[in-house]
Amino acid sequence: MHTRGMFQLAQDRELPVVLLIDDDLVSREVSATLLTLSGYTVHTAEKGPAALEMLDGGAIRPGVVLMDVQLPGLSGNELVSELRARTRAPIFLISASAARPGVVADGYLRKPFDADSLRRLMEGHKPKAGMSFLDPQQPVISPQILAKLRKMMPEPAVREIYSALIADLSQRIPALETAIAKKDAAEVRRIGHAIKGGCGMAGALQAARLGALLESAAAGRDNQLDNSAALLRDLRAAAQGLERMLDAELPA
């Protein structure tokens, strides 16, 4: 791990901490230097597994991830999915060539890029002020349904149900990202419906509501596809809330 930064300047300007993943030494050093001189705190990793290790170990909490489009080994959508499981930070692809088709991320920067380009991309990615589809008053899971499940079966079986639900969400969220990127309304509607049904049965209230919103948006009734970034962000947060609930209520 390589870390550098003008910490006070970054804090004063509220610039995000950057995780930069690039296997090319020159490109990585030049990009990190430019960002550092502009006030960003930058952590660098040469390859995907090294970046994941940094996140798993709690070494950093990035506000944005920049990853090279073509990395050796773990790369592309596989790396994006692994990063999504560990951070809610937006993920931007960087490359010296045209954007690679099929890799679903939050944005793209052409090398060489400067700090202003990153800042503009970040500003364009931000959801509208105050926009959130999570109801802070709504519990992550229905206490009534959880109580019923506990009466019906032993604790390990209840945990298995919610573990399976979390695993299912971890697969559906990347598929949903792909469908939205392709503007495949039918697939968005199908996935949203599945999330609504599965999470609803288990009493995962927040995730079920977001699934219903995605289904409705894809059907064209609520005109919320423009807000897909916020919906996906909140769905990831709901999934993380389920994980925390599982560890707190039903420890392994």
Structure confidence by residue, pLDDT tens digits, 236-252: 888 988 998 888 888 87
End-of-domain residue from the set 125, 156, 172 = 125
Q: Are residues 120 and 200 in the same domain?
A: no
Average pLDDT score over residue span 224-232? 66
Q: Are residues 107 and 6 in the same domain?
A: yes
> Which residue's structure tokens are 């019923």?
148
pTM over 0.85: no
Structure confidence by residue, pLDDT tens digits, 139-172: 889 999 999 999 999 999 999 999 999 999 999 9
Instruction: Quickly state the pLDDT bin for 126 (edges 50, 70, 90).
Output: low
Instruction: Quickly state the pLDDT bin for 220 (edges 50, 70, 90).
Output: low
> Considering its fold, how many domains does the chain have in total?
2
The predicted structure's pLDDT at residue 14:
65
Domain membership of residue 191 as a residue range: 143-249
The CA-based angle 212-218-224, given to 5 degrees, is: 80
- 37 domain residue, yes or no: yes
Q: Are residues 30 and 73 in the same domain?
A: yes
End-of-domain residue from the set 74, 98, 125 = 125
- 134 domain residue, yes or no: no
Name every residue whose Cβ is closer than 8 Å to that of residue 98 and which is 6 or more positions away in sequence. Answer: none
Average pLDDT score over residue span 55-59? 85
Q: Are residues 55 and 121 in the same domain?
A: yes
Q: Are residues 44 and 75 in the same domain?
A: yes
Q: Are residues 151 and 187 in the same domain?
A: yes
Instruction: Quickly state the pLDDT bin for 39 (edges 50, 70, 90).
Output: confident
Which tops the pLDDT comparison, 11 or 113? 113
Q: Residue 206 is part of a domain; what is its CATH number?
A: 1.20.120.160
